[in-house]
Structures are given as C-alpha cells and as structure tokens.
A and B are shown apart, each in its own frame.
With several copies, the nearest count.
Chain A
Amino acid sequence: MFKKILIANRGEIALRIVRACREMSIRSVAVHSVVDADSLHVKFADEAICIGPAPAQESYLSTAAIISAAEVSGADAIHPGYGFLAENAAFAETCANCNIAFIGPPPALMRLLGDKISARLRMAESRVPILPGSGRLESATDAIARAERIGFPVMLKAAAGGGGRGMKIVNDAESLPASYELARAEALAGFGSGDLYAEKYLPSPRHIEVQMVADAYGQVVALSDRECSIQRRHQKILEEGPAAVLTDEARATLFSLCERACRDLGYQNVGTFEFLFDRGNFYFMEVNPRIQVEHTVTEMVTGLDLIREQILVAAGVPLSSPFARRPRPRGHAIEARIVAEDPETFAPSPGRISALHLPGGFGVRVDTHVYEGYAVPPDYDSLLAKLVVHAEDRPHAIARLRGALEEFVVEGIATNLALHRRIVRDADFCSGQLDTHFLERFAA
C-alpha cells in the first residue's frame, strides 16, 4: 500500500481525499497556492507545501511544481482529484517516469477517452449505442454533407472537448459554416485542437450516468446510476441517484453494457459512463476517466467509499467483497452543488464568508473546504460545498434537501442557495419531469 499520497488538487475534493488517506493510515500531502494557505485541506493534511502563486497554471496545473513537491515530500502516489491534471495523460506519464503512482486509469486509456471521436468508435465496437454521427470533420463542406446524412438538427462538438466549449447546435445547412468556424475557434482556444465531429442533436434528453469501478485484474462492476439533468450550460448543478426514470430492466441492461465496454477497454480505477437518455434509448456521450464531483451520490446509496477504493485499486489490490459485485442501492440520494456566484448574472462571487451555518443531522452530508471567516479566492472554480442528502426514497430525499437548504446560511458572498431552494419546490422536479433543459425553462 502507498505510504504517502500527494493530493494535486484543492477545495472540497482535496479534503475528501485527505479524509480517505487518514482513515487508511496513509500520510497525506496537501499542495496549495499562496492564496489557498487557509483552506481546510491544507489544515487537515499531514503535510502541506506551497507550490506557487494564485494562477493555476503556475500551481495546480504545473507538472513541475507538483512532481517536485512529491519528490521533496517523498510521496509515492499522487491523487489528482477532478479537474486540473486529472485527465492529463502527459502528467500521468510523467508520474510514471518519476516512479510515482498516478491514482487513475493507465495514461493510454486517458488519451483514448480524451479524444471523443476515438472514444465514440471504441464504444461502437463494444456495441454501446451511440448517436448517429461523424468522424473528424474535414471542412465546413464536409460537415454539411455529413450533417445531411445524419439529419438536422446536429450538434458540432470538439474532439478534445468537455464542459460545453466548442459545442454548437446547427439546425440547417445554411447556418452550418458559421457555426463550424465558431466551434472550431472555441475548440482551438479551449483545448489546443480545433478538431470537430458532428452528432445527431436530441432536443430534450435526460443525462444519465453510470459509476464504474475496475481493478487491475479484469474485475469490473457498475456500482450505481445517477441522473444529472439539472445543468446550466453543461455544468451540473444538482445530481441524484438512482435515476427515477430507469426500470430495473433498463438499469440492468445499461450496467451490463458498461461492464462489457470496460472489459473491452481494459479499464482500471473508477470512471463514469455518461449517456443521453431519450424515449427509452441510451446514447453514449463520454467516459470520464476520474472521480467525479457527484461520486457522493453513489457513496450514499451504496454505503461504499469510492475514494478509498480508488486508492486500493491503484495500489494493485483486487476489488474485494462489497465492491466485487453490483451493490444493492439503499434509498435515494441528491447532491446540490453550492457555488459562489451571483444568482442573477451567474458571475463568480469571491470574497470573505462573514457568517456560515452548515446543515446537519440524519441523512445530511456536507463536503466543504470553507468555514466562517474563509476568503473565497477569485482564482478558481466557484464550488463552495456539496450538500448531499440521503433518505429512503426520492420524495423523502427531496423533503430532507428542502430542510437542509433552509438551514444553510452563507453570508458575505453571493451563492446559488436561492436557486436550489426554488428547484426543490418545483412541481416538475418533484414529479421527476426532468431533461437537460430543465433549468432554462425554469429560469424563464
């Protein structure tokens, strides 16, 4: 087992990993930028190293600073969390070259799955349903021809994409060239590659995903499903599980095909298969080869510690008893992402938290790195806390979330608490009438 894990991240996920390490009696090393010195992950880790100034490029995204911190602290493994370097195959390779274990899938797989076009093709080979779509588009003219074969409307997507950048809906051939150039420019600016592909556009799908875990010996298990249809510009706001819309049969089918695809890939560590779900059909979107923000939903319904399992699998431990077969979920869990942003403009809202009260009690979990008096720096993403509730079924979970949101107090900075309070009282939300455009209609 690892002796010391360096956590190449910040915020709540860094604290989550510190806690997992502590429970496993593994020493933890927090790294942080100058402005994050007061964050809880720094206070609670066994060791802490300042690795650079506020800009992420010079701290949390700096391979040199992080590897150097691992070397001076003697860490034998690095947990990348999510975001930052978590899906960076080159970083994972550098870790391997420096004899530091990277807690994630093998770099070659990260590379394969990072290219959405190659991921699509590999999934098709494993008989995972994909949307009608194209390979790499050569030009706007090529794109028109392919789009006509697919049938409008289509979605142009960046091959290296993620998070909504470089994505454009195109309704007809006339408007395609302009959208093509725009998407190309965004993709180039965002990911350093302007490669695009096209997919059939679904007007009102649900976002359903499956949490996978796989060890180094070919054991693969689909742990649970989650629904994340409540998004704003492809950013998830509220996630829940199990997905209320799935029948037991649909779930079993979905789990089996994810397990088959993982086996075909030789997948290792945790990962998430994301799908669009429309009129009873699943369509593969992408695989996230890392832990996700909303892994907590799966933890609540299965009772299993995913971060610990991630570390165990990376250390070469085979999946053992509770992980070795599909767990039976208990009840329903919902996660609300509490972010520091202006409720009207959605602009980030950094600043000092002058008063804070976190909800508690039965079935209420809060993962956060902030506390009263903490100053939210303007340099990073705006996630303040994950409020996760668990109850025996969806209606009770909603009632619990409603109460917990009422108890949640953040003063000094703007947050999206009011938005969440509206969501949990919305009739469509309560009856489970969701799709990825829920929030658009909701805000209107």
Chain B
Amino acid sequence: MSPKKVSKSNPSDPFAARLGKVEALCELLHRQRLGELEYEDADLKIRLWLGSSSAGFGATAATEPAASAQTAASGSNLYVTSPFVGTFYRAPNPEAKPFVEVGDRVTKGQVLCIVEAMKLMNEIESELDGTIAQILIENGKSVEYGEPLFKIRQE
C-alpha cells in the first residue's frame, strides 16, 4: 500500500491516507468518465456516484481516447493507442498480409500496423511482449490521437 502518491497529508495518518485514496478515486472517476465507482480494500470501502450535480449538461462524449499514452494499462491487458490522427492500415500495402492477427505473439519493437498521416506511412511498434487479444479498428478507418488500436495480453 502506498498512499504517498495520492495524498499530500501525513501518510502515517490513516484518515489522511484514506482521504488521499478517495481523492485519487474521484480523479479516476472523472478521468475515466464513470458514473459510479465502488471500491473496497483492507481499510477502505467506498462508493462514489456522479449524480445530477455533475459536469454541467450532457455529461457525455462517447468516443474519447482512453489514454494519451501510447500504451495504456488496464488490468493485465494493455492498449496500443494511436500517436496521431490518420488512417489505420493493418498491412504495408493492399496486397500484403496484415502485420499481426489476433492470437499472434508479439515482441517489443515489432511493427503492428501503419497510421498514415499527410501521405506518410508511420509504422507503429509494440512497446512490450505479449499476445494480440483484440484488434480494435478496421483496416482503412481513420483514427484519432490517443485512440486504442490493439489490446495486448501481457505475459
């Protein structure tokens, strides 16, 4: 347990530590655009709920990037996200085979796809070793900055 990162108060004070946790969970709630969150550990049990008092009207937005990092963690799965806006290609050219398929083992540095921006073909490499769990974008579709492209199950 390491409340240091989330709390600015004395970490030896259990309530301050818990408050730090709650604060961090609130931030997570907002950042991840959740409506509700229930959390429990050895010394904290909490439910947060973003009721009608929240975020002005239309609290909304569907297709927002999950994270801005190129590889965003979620459990033991990781997401490879697009480093720029452009067009997603699974293969180096229309005739070629895709770089990867679901179930393929990939290694750090291996090319996973191409994102074309301004006629430039940018190869996107894996940042870790693992197995392709899911391909989230169809070939030829456009992607936003930060949009998840692949789900990779970590070894």
Contacts and interface: CB of A to CB of B under 8 A. Distances in A.
B is bound to A: yes
Interface of A: 31, 34, 37-38, 42-43, 49-53, 59, 64-65, 67-69, 71-73, 98, 352, 354-357, 371-375, 409, 411-412
B85 A65 contact: yes
A277 to B, nearest CB: 40
Interface string B67-109: 0100000000000000011110000000000000000000000
A72 B58 contact: no
Contact of A38 (B55, B117, B145): B55
A441 B57 CA distance: 34
B138 interface: no
A38 B85 contact: no
8 contacts: A38-B56, A49-B85, A64-B117, A68-B118, A72-B85, A355-B56, A372-B56, A374-B55
Interface residues of B, number: 26
Given A37-B64, A65-B145, A52 B84 contact: yes
A98 B118 CA distance: 9
A38 B59 CA distance: 9
B96 to A, nearest CB: 22
A52 B87 contact: no
B61 interface: yes
Given A52-B84, A373-B33, A38 B68 contact: no
Nearest to A98: B118
B85 A69 contact: yes
B64 A357 contact: no
Nearest to A52: B145
Sort A-B residue pairs by CB-CB distance and give the 9 closest, nearest first. Answer: A373-B56, A72-B142, A68-B117, A355-B57, A50-B144, A373-B55, A371-B56, A354-B52, A357-B57
B20 interface: no
Contacts of B142: 49, 72-73
B14 interface: no
A38 B65 CA distance: 12
A50 B147 contact: yes
A69 B82 CA distance: 13
A53 B60 contact: no
A123 B54 CA distance: 54
A43 B145 contact: no
A64 B147 CA distance: 17
Contacts, number: 93
A374 B30 CA distance: 12
Contact of A409 (B58, B85, B143): B58
A64 B118 CA distance: 6
Interface of B: 30, 33, 52, 54-58, 60-61, 64-65, 68, 84-87, 117-118, 120, 142-147
Contacts of A73: 142
A375 to B, nearest CB: 7
Nearest to B115: A68
Given A37-B61, A73-B142, A68 B85 contact: yes
A212 to B, nearest CB: 33
B85 A37 contact: no
Contacts of B52: 352, 354-355, 375, 412
Nearest to A50: B144
A440 B78 CA distance: 55
A409 B60 CA distance: 13
A38 B52 CA distance: 13
Contact of A355 (B58, B64, B84, B85): B58
A173 B90 CA distance: 67
A49 B144 contact: yes
Given A53-B145, A357-B58, A34 B84 contact: no
Given A34-B145, A50-B146, A67-B118, A72 B61 contact: no
Given A355-B58, A409-B57, 8 more contacts: A43-B58, A50-B64, A51-B84, A64-B84, A64-B120, A72-B143, A357-B58, A373-B57
B68 A34 contact: yes
Nearest to A53: B68
Nearest to A31: B85
A374 B145 CA distance: 22
Nearest to A74: B142
Contacts of B55: 38, 373-374
A42 B57 contact: no
A352 B64 CA distance: 19
Nearest to B144: A50
Nearest to A372: B56
B113 to A, nearest CB: 15
Contacts of A357: 56-58
A231 to B, nearest CB: 30
